[in-house]
Every structure is written in structure tokens, then in C-alpha cells.
């Protein structure tokens, strides 16, 4: 099947700086594709090139198999939901949604019908006559999407549209956006710096850093099997140590950190030999916490320490544990099963994790 | 000052505040020490006058001698009267409107107060001019003005290109078409009336006769309009027009012509054959003036021949001061004599006082000329 | 405490009330009263509408009045048409230093007085002036050409003088238009003209209206430019007012003219606001 969007060796330079460097990817029809990266990584540049507001320095963009490089933005079968939505404040909701249809020269009757239908679909059938500034944040969001979807584009681009919303609404809109995408059955390309938005909604995620794609895959791929130290650090939380490989034996490694901690880990098939400098990543939620040492003896790594800090944040709560031997501090997820409700600062605890969960990368691979 | 008759359009209303406080203290102290306090009260004299009539060097000399301070505001006839009317004759201590603009406004608005001739040194004035001004500025038996600076308006010509222009009506000749300029103001109406062989001054008292004259002038000016490049407004504007050669014949003041003559000998002031129009700017006291003593002191001071000659140098026009001519530079005298052979001096038409109401007739004429196509 | 705030309130209010009453209300009432006086003899006046009747019955006054109004409207439209792209470029396309520099360039003419600016145009446009000489030098014309002393020269002068007052409100309203809104227009299939018409102009409307009101008032009330650049056929209503007040000593008719002008400008401002659906609060606020 022809992908809805295909970028081939896409490169964009502004003067001496390369904003996007040799990026290639394709997005299959009907999928939700996200580009995740820190601000300034070049993701907005890619989006603007797809929309047609920027011309690539080299490379090609194909939509439904056809190159669109020579197509002006107002003729591309692509629509975009802007960061601050960019609704037209001088028009009411119906006129906002009808704008593209009017420009396409549809008869008035059809416009009214289509606008009514799309308002129905986003669950706001009564707001056509309202002014844009009378809408709530969530309503504006849906109107902005409806304004694009009414044109039935091949591809909908979304540029961090949830950024301006408050936390609760953002959580709800994530679910709603995913539902809308499924409902309209249109390909969404979504860019964000917020990993949770990308992880929750996307079928495919590309993690982008300094103009390049670090890794492309499903949310689980990125989380469980990061291929680069950047991805390991950027997607989800991680404890991170630098050190030197002491022993390498059939994928099982032993790494001595700079502060003297010995950690067993895995290179996931990456070539790493003894004596090499390396970074090792361990997710806080992969570390088991226990009051009894015996519970953890089966794990590859286990050590004893005391609690230096409790960072309570409901389901995302953390405990900082100081290792007795090396005095290094390790971030550990606090299980919310009731077992550790009375954990206090200074308590002695045991922690441990399997070597499978300790991901090792050659130093400087970033 | 470029031109003493700076028009309202050039907004020549510049305040010159002179506060020689140290000088003031020193002179007051000296005067009281010597016990010669002839003018013990040192005042501020607020003088409303034309550009060039109170040059800085004269003001300085006056301040040093009397201890008074002088504030000079430059203006023109119309604005002087408008300002005094707005305040009922306040805000200034001495004003200098033309002698024909005293009796009418005084009768109408009461903006002046009578002059106490005993405080003025009449011997410093040219007697004929003093008497004429006194006569023209008398209202209900009181005298409201004494003469200061006089001059004429006539023709400023480029003699190489407009040799045939002898009188105002010649400005309408085809050979100077498009290169003519005059003001759209009352002197133009009066000048054209004389040039057309009528005597508007004689008709001043007869509204019907005056209207009749003005109607004829109006027809002539409308007929003449295609010849006119533009109606000039400010003195500088006219000087530029003539200097650049865009205008070769204009109706203007004598000083303007003499100034241009200094740069280009071909251009000069010519008294028209029907006679130049003579004006005399006066000294008059505003009704609510506060420093009459200083005002009289100023009048007597500037009428001294040497001081009067300094004013002539600055303003370009001669004064009513007796004997001042001999202190005036030879250049200026030569230009004056070239423009005014003795018979031309005798032919000067001096403006009589304007009776109230004439402005309305003239205004209508001027409006219609301007609107005509 | 309460008395203290009351006193403070009164102290704050006093300058406003003084300004309103002494500089706005009382002079206008006085002028209105003057306009109702008719001179019946030397120093004698009667209350009558004679001055307003004079205005209505004299074709010259009416003609000048209409001419001034129409020319001012025209000058306002030209200023808008010239100023809009300038403001758009400064607000949306120029960046950083260029933007400030261009804005400064708009301001530069105002560092000298209106008189000097007008003289500048006279130097450029006159028969022996810069443009005429340049055209002759380039061989485009043979013999000098007079560009001064006509209505076109008045227009140029008025537009030039008013430019800043149009550009500033336009820059501020255009500056407040999010670039993304314009891009959204393109993205949804809009073309340049349709975006200008449906998005940019409606957004800039408060700025357009306030700029137009100010420019119209300035043109209507301008005195120097029409009289100096206009030459022998220039008729401008303020010139009539000036000559009634200063030259003719006819304050009564001058005051009536002034009131007629006030009524005209108020009417046109009201009509503009009504036609464009704007309110005074939105445009001036």
C-alpha cells in the first residue's frame, strides 16, 4: 500500500545551521505518527516543510506517492492544526470551519451541510454561531481539528496543539484526539516534546534530536528497547551511570561506574568489549524495592542503602536511595501497593534489578 | 530678519525673552547709588511688533540704558489686532499696527488707549509724518498712534524680462503670462483700483461707490488670474519665486525688491506709474498695557536718529525719525533713490484709516477671485 | 481612611475636570455663542442664526466646504492604500533592526516642523525644483514643468503629513495578528487576496478605522499644506475660518464655520464607525 506520507533524505539548512539532516520515513494510511523531540530539534521544521511553508534544501516529500515539492501550501492535500490553533478570531465557528470550503468554491448549501456534519462529529452541534473567543480550550481544540477535517485532507499535521491546555484537559484531549483520529480514519502526523502525548496516542513514534531521527518504532519499542542513549534518556526516566566495561561475556556485561559501583547489564546485541567506556541506563520503575535482602537475591544487581528523599507524586512517586558502598544516589519507583506507605527518610532498604533492565551503550554514542 | 513684513504663513511669532537679570541688577544698583533714579521702576516691556523692528542690538542698548527688560513677539497687522481683540487689549504693553488699522478696530473693539503726547519727544519725528499719523489715528478726539517705520508696496520686477510692466494692471499682459505673482489681500485690490484709474481711498466713506470699485477690480483680477503663477503668502515665498526666475513681475514691498537687488542687479523695486501704496507702522498702546512708562521710554529711545538707523538696517525700511537718514548705509540709500525719484515720492498713496465694514466687501471679492476658474 | 481616599479621588479627578471644562467645554460653548451673534452696528450685536444662513446661502462657502470634505476623504483613502503595505511590511515581514529602522524612518519627517516639511515639498515640486530639473537632465521632458500649486500637490502634502498617523495604528493591530493565523489561511486553501480580504483586513479594522479617523481629522483641519502647496485655486475650509477670524475680524462667521466643521467631522466619524461596525472603544482603546 502506498504510504500517505513519505519523506526521503529530507534536509533543511538555514545558513550554516542544519535544522533537519537526511531524515527519511514513511507513514502508512490511517496511522497516528508522532515526532518526539526536545525543542529546537528540528521537528517543527519538518512539519512546516510538509505543510509547504518551507522548501527543503534537498530531499523529497511524497504524499500518496506524489511529490508535493512544487505544490503551494494552499494546494497541498495537507492541513495543519497550529500550536495555538490559529482560529480566525474575526469569524464565528461555522465561518471558521467553512473557510476552506468557501475557498474551494463549494456551493453555500453544501458548505452549511458539511459544517453541520463535522460539528456533529466533534460533538458540538450547537456552537456554529458562537464567536471563537466564547469557546473553552477543549472546544477550540476540536473546532481547529474540525476546520481541517471538513476538507478531508490526506494528512493532518498537528503542531503541539495541546501545549496551551491545563494538565487535566490535556489528559482528556489525548484520549479524545486518538478517538477523533480513529473516527475520521485520517493519517495524523503529530509533533510534540511531551513524551506522554506521543506514547499514549501514537502508532509510530520517531524520536528526533539535533536534526536527525534517533529511533523510530512503537511506544513500547522506544521504551523497552531504546537503540541510542538519547532515546534511553529522553523516553521515560532513567538512572544513568558512566563507567568502564570490566567484563563482557555473551551479551552479559559488568560495568564499573566512576563512583565504584559494579553493575551487571546488557548491550542488547550492540558490540561492547572489555575496557571500553560506556553509559548504563536503568529505569526507576525497573528497580525493585524491598525491606528484606532475601527477596532480591535472584536479581543480577542488588545493593543496600538508606532513603535520602521521598518524592511523592501519586502514581509517579520516587524514592532516592543512597548506596552504602559507593554513596551513589539511585532513583527508584515507589510501588503503590500499600507495602511502603510508611517508608520514611533514613530507613534502610534493599534494591535490585535484573541485568536485562540495565541497558548499556558505548560512551559518546550520543 | 529676512523680511520685515513676514506674513502669518511663515508663523514668524517667535518669542524672544531677554532676561538680562545680572545687567538689570547692576544697572538698578548703579542708578540708585548715584541717586539719579529717573526711572526707578524697572519694568518688562512686552512688545508686539514686526520682524526687524526690534533688532537684538537695539534691545540690548535699551535694556542697558533703562534697566527695563524687553520681550519681543513678532506678528503682523491682522494677528496683532486678533490677539488684542481676544484679550480685550491685554497681554502686551506696546504694539505696532499700521496707521490705517487703528481707528477702525478702536471704534469697534476698544483695544487701544490714548497716547499721552506730553511723554513723547515730538522733536525726534519728521513733523509731516507725525501730524498725518495723529490725524489718521484719532477717535473721539483722542490720539492713538505715532509713526515709526514706513514703506511702500509696488512692483518687484526682473527688468530684463518684464521691462514693459509699468503698473499693476500690466501684470495681466500676455508677455508675462504665468510668471506673475501677487498677494490675494487688500493692498492688491487698492493697487489695482488705482491702476485702473479709480480712487478707492476717496470712496472709503461711500459703501456703494466702494462696492462698485471693488466689483470692477474683481472682474479684472478674475480676468488676470490665468496670468498668475500663484498668489504668494509669505515674504520668503515671494523672494524664492523671484530669485529662482519662476516669477519675473510681482506686486510686493519695496524692501523685498531691494533685498533681491543686492543679489541680482536686474531685479529691483519699481514704483508703479499710478503710485506706490504707502504704509506707516505706528506705536500704539494696548488698552490693558501695564508698562506705559517703559513703552514711552522705548518710543523715545528708538526714535533717536542713530537707533532708528539701526532699525532701518535690520528692517530695510526707513523710519519717521528726523535725521536718521544720514546714519543709514549708502547702499540702502542708493537703492531707495533709484526706486523713488522725487516725483514718485510725491505720488505715494498713503493709506487712510480703514472704516469698519470695508473688510467684509473686500473679503467677498477676495473669496470670489480665489474661487474663480 | 475613607476621607483620605475620597480626597485622593478628588485630587486625581480635578485635573481631568479642569481640562475638560476649561479647554474643551467652555471654549466650545463660548464659540457657539459667538457664532450666534450678528453684528448690527459698530460694537452692537444681536442673537440670530444669520451666520449659519450666510454659510448656507453663499455657494462659495458651501462649495469650499464640500471640496474640503471630499479631498480629505480622498487623502485618507490614499493614505490608507499607501500606508497599509508599509505597515504590513514593518509589522509582519521586517525583523529586528530593520523593523525598528523602518519605523524610525516613518518618524523622521516629524523631527522637523510641518512648515519645513511643506517647504521641502515645494523645493521638490517647483518649476525650478529638484524633480523638474532631474526629469530635464534625464531628457524625459523638454523645458521645466510646474508640479506645484495644484490639487495633486495638496494630496501629496496631505498624504505625506498624515502617513505616520495611519501607519502607527496599523502596525500595532497588524502586529497583534498571529502569523499562524495567516499561515492557517494559506493552509486551508486561501489565496493571497482572500486572506487579505477575509483575515488581515477584518483583523486590522480597528487600526484602519482609528488611522482613518485621525488622518481625516488632520487633513480636514490642515491649514499650512493646502495653502502653501495649493496655489491660486486652492480652497480649503480652514483657510476661510482663518481669514474670517484674523483678516476680516469677523469672529462671528468664523465661529459658525468652525462649528459647521465640527459637525461635519463628528458626522463622518460616526458614519465611518457605523459603516465598519466598529465602536469608539474598540478603535481608540
Question: What is the tens place of the pLDDT at every residue in B263-276?
Answer: 899 999 999 999 99
Residue B39 to residue A315: CA distance in whole angstroms:
99
pLDDT of residue B25: 46
Its pTM stands at 0.79
Tell me which chain B residues have a C-beta less than 8 angstroms from the C-beta of C148: 230
pLDDT of residue C2: 61
Q: What is the pLDDT of residues C192-213, one digit of tens each?
A: 899 999 999 999 999 999 999 9
Arithmetic mean of pLDDT, C125-148: 85
- Interface contacts (A, C; CB < 8 Å): 66
CB neighbours of A120 closer than 8 A, spacing ≥ 6?
none
Tell me which chain C residues have a C-beta less than 8 angstroms from the C-beta of A99: 185, 188, 190, 198
Nearest residue on chain B to C233, judged by CA atoms?
B370
Query: In which domain, by residue range, is B179 found?
Result: 153-277+344-371
Write b or e for each residue in C145-169: b if 16 or more Cβ atoms lie within 10 A of its Cβ, otherwise e.
ebbbbbbebbbbbbbbbbbbbbbbb
CB neighbours of B47 closer than 8 A, spacing ≥ 6?
B54, B70, B71, B72, B73, B92, B93, B94, B95, B96, B298
C123 located within any domain: yes
Residue B340 to residue B325: CA distance in whole angstroms:
15
Arithmetic mean of pLDDT, A178-191: 90
Beta-strand relationship, B112-113 and B69-74: unpaired
B363: nearest CB among C64, C115, C248: C248
Residues 149-188 of C with CB under 8 A from A: 178, 180-181, 183-188
Arithmetic mean of pLDDT, B3-26: 38
Q: What is the pLDDT of residues A28-59, one digit of tens each?
A: 999 999 999 998 899 999 999 999 999 999 99
Residue B53 to residue B319: CA distance in whole angstroms:
10
C281 touches chain B (CB under 8 A): no
Arithmetic mean of pLDDT, A326-355: 87
CB contact under 8 A, C247 and B107: no
Tell me which chain C residues have a C-beta less than 8 angstroms from the C-beta of B359: 247-250
C125 touches chain B (CB under 8 A): no
Q: Which chains touch A (3 or more CB pairs under 8 A)?
A: C
pLDDT of residue C7: 83
pLDDT of residue A358: 87
pLDDT of residue B17: 37
Look at residue B303 and give its three-state secondary structure.
coil
Q: What is the pLDDT of residues A82-121, one digit of tens each?
A: 988 899 988 999 999 999 999 989 999 999 999 999 998 8
Arithmetic mean of pLDDT, B127-152: 91
User: B45 pLDDT band (50/70/90 cuts)?
Assistant: very high
Total tally of structural domains belonging to chain B: 2
Q: Is C285 exposed, middle or buried (0-12, 13-18, 19+ CB in 10 A)?
A: exposed
Position C237 pLDDT exceeds 70: yes
CATH of domain A237-362: 2.40.50.100
Average predicted confidence (pLDDT) for chain C: 87
Same domain, B19 and B140: yes
User: A365 pLDDT band (50/70/90 cuts)?
Assistant: low
pLDDT of residue A329: 87
Tell me which chain A residues have a C-beta less than 8 angstroms from the C-beta of C178: 84, 86
Same domain, B353 and B268: yes
**Better-predicted residue by pLDDT, A224 or C247:** A224
C49 located within any domain: no
CB contact under 8 A, C231 and B231: yes
Look at residue A127 and give its three-state secondary structure.
coil
Arithmetic mean of pLDDT, A337-341: 84
C182 located within any domain: yes
CB contact under 8 A, B229 and C146: yes
Query: In which domain, by residue range, is C168 found?
Result: 61-284
Same domain, B289 and B326: yes
Which phi and psi (to 5°) does residue A36 adopt?
-115, 130
Nearest residue on chain C to B182, judged by CA atoms?
C232
| Joined grid coordinates for residue B288 | 490693558
Q: What is the pLDDT of residues B233-280, one digit of tens each?
A: 777 888 889 998 899 999 998 988 998 988 899 999 999 999 999 999
Give the dihedral sign, CA C211/C212/C217/C223: positive
Q: Which residues pair with B280 in a beta bridge?
A: B150
CB contact under 8 A, B246 and C224: no
Tell me which chain B residues have a C-beta less than 8 angstroms from the C-beta of C228: 9, 233, 237
Instruction: For residue B61, count other CB atoms closer than 10 A to its CB.
Output: 17
C228: nearest CB among B105, B233, B363: B233
User: C284 pLDDT band (50/70/90 cuts)?
Assistant: low
Beta-strand relationship, A187-192 and A155-159: parallel
CB contact under 8 A, C202 and A82: no
Residue pair C255/C54 in contact (Cβ under 8 Å)? The answer is no
Same domain, B161 and B43: no
Residue pair C223/C239 in contact (Cβ under 8 Å)? The answer is yes
Q: At what angle do helices C151-175 and C59-88 cross, to 10 degrees?
A: 40
Average predicted confidence (pLDDT) for chain B: 85
Instruction: Provide, rounded to the nearest whole percent, the portion of chain C with pLDDT above 90.
Output: 30
CB neighbours of C88 closer than 8 A, spacing ≥ 6?
C170, C174, C200
pLDDT of residue B41: 56
A interface with C, Cβ–Cβ below 8 Å: 51-53, 72-75, 78-80, 82-84, 86-91, 99-100, 103-104, 147-148, 151
Same domain, B104 and B28: yes
CB contact under 8 A, B370 and C249: no
Residue pair C201/C209 in contact (Cβ under 8 Å)? The answer is no
A90: nearest CB among C178, C190, C202: C202
Tell me which chain A residues have a C-beta less than 8 angstroms from the C-beta of C202: 90-91
Q: Do chains C and B touch (3 or more CB pairs under 8 A)?
A: yes
Strand order in the sheet with A66-67: A17-27, A5-14, A58-63, A66-67
pLDDT of residue C139: 84
Give CATH superfamily name and number for A5-231: P-loop containing nucleotide triphosphate hydrolases (3.40.50.300)
Which phi and psi (to 5°) does residue C139 adopt?
75, 15
Residue C201 to residue A79: CA distance in whole angstroms:
23
Cell 497550529 sits at which residue? A82
Same domain, B247 and B330: no
Position A2 pLDDT exceeds 80: yes
Position B38 pLDDT exceeds 50: no
User: B19 pLDDT band (50/70/90 cuts)?
Assistant: very low
Arithmetic mean of pLDDT, C127-139: 86
pLDDT of residue C85: 94
- Element containing residue B129 per DSSP (H, E): helix B127-136
B301 located within any domain: yes
The enclosing domain of C246 has a CATH number of 1.10.3720.10
Total tally of structural domains belonging to chain C: 1
C42: nearest CB among B244, B356, B360: B356
CB contact under 8 A, B108 and C240: no
Position B283 pLDDT exceeds 90: yes
Average predicted confidence (pLDDT) for chain A: 89
Residues 177-196 of B with CB under 8 A from C: 184-185
Position B373 pLDDT exceeds 80: no
Same domain, B217 and B366: yes
Instruction: Provide, rounded to the nearest whole percent, the portion of chain B with pLDDT above 70.
Output: 89
CB contact under 8 A, A79 and C202: no
Position B10 pLDDT exceeds 60: no
The enclosing domain of B318 has a CATH number of 3.40.190.10
Q: Do chains A and B touch (3 or more CB pairs under 8 A)?
A: no
Tell me which chain C residues have a C-beta less than 8 angstroms from the C-beta of A83: 180
Alpha carbon A332 to chain centroid distance? Answer: 23
Cα dist from C273 to A189, C205, C209, whole Å: 45, 10, 7
Position C178 pLDDT exceeds 50: yes
**Domain residue limits, chain A:** 5-231, 237-362
**Better-predicted residue by pLDDT, A298 or A27:** A27
Cα dist from A10 to A42, A152, A154, B178, whole Å: 11, 26, 20, 71
Amino acid at each position: 500500500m502506498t504510504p500517505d506520507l513519505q519523506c526521503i533524505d529530507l534536509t533543511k539548512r538555514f545558513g550554516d545551521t542544519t535544522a533537519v539532516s537526511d531524515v527519511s520515513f514513511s507513514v502508512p494510511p490511517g496511522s497516528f505518527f508522532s515526532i518526539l523531540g526536545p525543542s529546537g530539534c528540528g521537528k517543527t521544521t519538518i512539519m512546516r516543510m510538509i505543510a509547504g511553508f518551507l522548501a527543503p534544501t534537498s530531499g523529497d516529500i511524497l504524499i500518496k506517492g506524489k511529490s508535493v515539492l512544487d505544490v503551494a501550501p494552499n494546494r497541498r492535500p495537507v492541513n495543519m492544526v497550529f500550536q495555538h490553533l490559529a482560529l480566525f478570531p474575526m469569524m464565528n465557528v461555522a465561518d471558521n470551519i467553512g473557510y476552506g470550503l468557501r475557498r474551494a468554491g463549494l456551493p453555500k448549501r453544501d458548505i452549511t451541510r458539511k459544517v453541520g456534519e463535522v460539528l456533529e462529529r466533534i460533538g458540538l452541534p450547537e456552537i456554529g454561531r458562537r464567536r471563537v473567543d466564547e469557546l473553552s480550550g477543549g472546544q477550540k481544540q476540536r473546532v481547529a481539528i474540525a476546520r481541517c477535517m471538513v476538507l478531508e485532507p490526506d494528512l493532518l499535521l498537528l503542531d503541539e496543539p495541546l501545549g496551551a491546555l491545563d494538565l487535566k484537559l490535556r489528559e482528556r484531549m489525548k484520549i479524545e484526539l486518538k478517538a477523533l483520529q480513529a473516527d475520521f480514519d485520517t493519517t495524523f502526523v503529530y509533533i510534540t516534546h511531551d513524551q506522554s502525548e506521543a506514547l499514549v496516542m501514537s502508532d509510530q513514534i520517531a524520536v528526533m534530536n539535533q536534526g536527525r531521527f534517533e529511533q523510530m518504532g512503537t511506544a513500547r519499542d522506544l521504551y523497552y528497547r531504546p537503540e541510542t542513549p538519547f532515546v534511553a534518556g529522553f523516553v521515560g526516566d532513567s538512572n544513568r551511570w558512566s563507567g568502564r566495561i570490566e567484563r563482557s561475556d555473551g551479551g552479559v556485561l559488568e560495568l564499573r561506574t566512576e563512583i565504584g559501583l559494579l553493575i551487571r547489564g546488557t548491550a542488547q546485541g550492540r558490540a561492547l568489549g572489555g575496557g571500553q567506556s560506556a553509559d548504563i541506563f536503568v529505569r526507576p520503575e525497573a528497580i525493585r524495592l524491598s525491606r528484606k535482602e532475601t527477596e532480591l537475591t535472584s536479581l543480577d544487581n542488588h545493593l543496600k542503602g538508606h532513603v535520602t528523599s521521598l518524592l511523592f507524586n501519586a502514581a509517579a512517586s520516587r524514592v532516592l536511595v543512597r548506596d552504602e558502598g559507593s554513596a551513589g544516589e539511585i532513583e527508584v519507583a515507589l510501588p503503590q501497593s500499600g507495602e511502603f506507605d510508611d517508608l520514611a527518610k533514613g530507613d534502610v532498604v534493599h534494591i535490585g534489578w535484573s541485568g536485562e533492565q540495565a541497558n548499556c551503550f558505548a560512551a559518546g554514542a550520543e | 530678519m529676512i523680511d520685515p513684513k513676514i506674513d502669518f504663513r511663515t508663523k514668524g511669532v517667535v518669542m524672544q525673552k531677554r532676561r538680562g537679570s545680572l545687567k538689570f541688577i547692576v544697572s538698578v544698583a548703579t542708578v540708585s547709588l548715584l541717586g539719579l533714579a529717573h526711572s526707578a521702576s524697572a519694568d518688562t516691556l512686552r512688545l508686539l511688533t514686526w520682524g526687524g523692528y526690534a533688532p537684538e542690538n537695539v534691545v540690548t542698548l535699551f535694556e542697558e540704558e533703562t534697566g527695563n527688560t524687553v520681550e519681543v513677539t513678532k506678528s503682523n497687522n491682522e494677528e496683532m489686532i486678533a490677539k488684542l481683540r481676544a484679550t480685550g487689549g491685554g497681554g502686551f504693553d506696546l504694539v505696532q499696527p499700521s496707521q490705517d488699522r487703528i481707528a477702525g478696530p478702536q471704534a469697534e473693539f476698544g483695544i487701544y488707549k490714548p497716547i499721552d503726547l506730553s511723554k513723547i519727544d515730538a522733536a525726534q519725528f519728521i513733523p509731516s509724518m507725525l501730524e498725518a499719523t495723529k490725524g489718521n489715528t484719532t477717535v473721539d478726539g483722542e490720539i492713538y498712534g505715532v509713526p515709526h517705520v514706513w514703506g511702500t508696496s509696488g512692483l518687484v520686477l526682473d527688468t530684463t524680462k518684464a521691462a514693459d510692466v509699468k503698473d499693476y494692471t500690466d501684470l495681466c499682459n500676455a508677455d508675462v503670462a504665468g510668471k506673475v505673482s501677487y498677494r490675494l489681500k487688500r493692498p492688491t485690490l487698492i493697487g489695482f483700483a488705482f491702476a485702473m484709474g479709480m480712487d478707492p481711498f476717496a470712496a472709503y466713506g461711500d459703501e456703494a461707490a466702494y462696492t462698485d470699485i471693488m466689483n470692477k477690480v474683481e472682474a479684472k483680477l478674475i480676468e488676470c488670474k490665468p496670468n498668475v503663477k500663484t498668489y504668494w503668502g509669505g515674504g520668503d515665498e515671494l523672494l524664492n519665486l523671484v530669485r529662482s526666475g519662476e516669477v519675473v513681475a510681482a506686486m510686493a514691498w519695496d524692501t523685498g525688491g531691494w533685498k533681491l537687488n543686492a543679489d541680482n542687479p536686474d531685479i529691483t523695486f519699481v514704483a508703479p506709474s499710478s503710485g506706490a501704496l504707502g504704509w506707516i507702522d505706528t506705536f500704539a498702546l494696548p488698552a490693558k498695557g501695564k508698562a506705559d512708562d517703559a513703552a514711552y521710554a522705548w518710543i523715545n529711545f528708538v526714535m533717536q536718529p542713530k537707533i532708528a538707523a539701526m532699525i532701518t538696517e535690520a528692517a530695510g525700511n526707513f523710519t519717521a525719525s528726523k535725521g536718521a537718514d544720514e546714519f543709514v548705509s549708502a547702499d540702502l540709500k542708493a537703492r531707495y533713490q533709484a526706486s523713488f525719484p522725487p516725483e514718485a515720492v510725491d505720488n505715494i498713496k498713503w493709506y487712510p484709516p480703514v472704516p469698519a465694514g470695508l473688510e467684509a466687501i473686500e473679503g467677498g471679492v477676495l473669496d470670489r477671485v480665489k474661487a474663480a476658474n | 481612611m475613607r476621607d483620605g481616599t475620597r480626597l485622593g479621588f478628588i485630587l486625581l479627578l480635578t485635573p481631568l475636570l479642569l481640562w475638560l471644562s476649561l479647554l474643551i467645554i467652555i471654549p466650545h460653548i463660548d464659540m457657539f455663542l459667538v457664532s450666534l451673534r450678528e453684528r448690527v452696528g459698530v460694537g452692537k450685536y444681536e442673537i440670530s442664526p444669520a451666520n449659519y444662513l450666510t454659510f448656507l446661502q453663499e455657494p462659495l462657502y458651501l462649495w469650499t466646504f464640500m471640496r474640503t470634505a471630499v479631498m480629505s476623504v480622498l487623502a485618507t483613502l490614499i493614505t490608507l492604500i499607501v500606508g497599509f503595505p508599509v505597515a504590513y511590511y514593518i509589522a509582519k515581514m521586517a525583523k529586528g533592526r530593520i523593523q525598528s529602522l523602518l519605523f524610525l524612518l516613518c518618524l523622521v519627517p516629524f523631527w522637523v516642523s510641518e512648515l519645513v516639511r511643506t517647504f521641502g515639498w515645494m523645493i521638490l515640486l517647483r518649476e525650478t525644483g529638484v524633480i523638474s530639473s532631474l526629469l530635464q537632465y534625464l531628457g524625459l521632458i523638454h523645458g521645466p514643468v510646474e508640479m506645484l500649486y495644484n490639487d495633486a500637490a495638496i494630496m501629496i502634502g496631505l498624504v505625506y503629513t498624515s502617513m505616520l498617523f495611519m501607519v502607527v495604528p496599523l502596525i500595532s493591530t497588524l502586529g497583534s495578528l498571529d502569523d499562524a493565523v495567516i499561515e492557517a489561511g494559506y493552509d486551508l486553501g486561501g489565496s493571497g487576496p482572500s486572506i487579505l480580504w477575509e483575515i488581515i483586513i477584518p483583523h486590522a479594522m480597528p487600526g484602519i478605522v482609528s488611522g482613518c479617523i485621525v488622518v481625516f481629522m488632520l487633513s480636514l483641519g490642515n491649514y499650512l499644506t493646502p495653502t502653501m502647496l495649493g496655489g491660486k485655486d486652492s480652497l480649503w475650509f480652514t483657510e476661510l475660518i482663518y481669514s474670517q477670524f484674523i483678516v476680516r475680524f469677523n469672529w462671528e462667521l468664523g465661529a459658525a464655520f468652525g462649528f459647521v466643521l465640527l459637525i461635519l467631522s463628528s458626522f463622518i466619524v460616526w458614519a465611518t464607525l457605523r459603516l465598519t461596525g466598529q465602536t469608539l472603544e474598540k478603535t481608540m482603546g
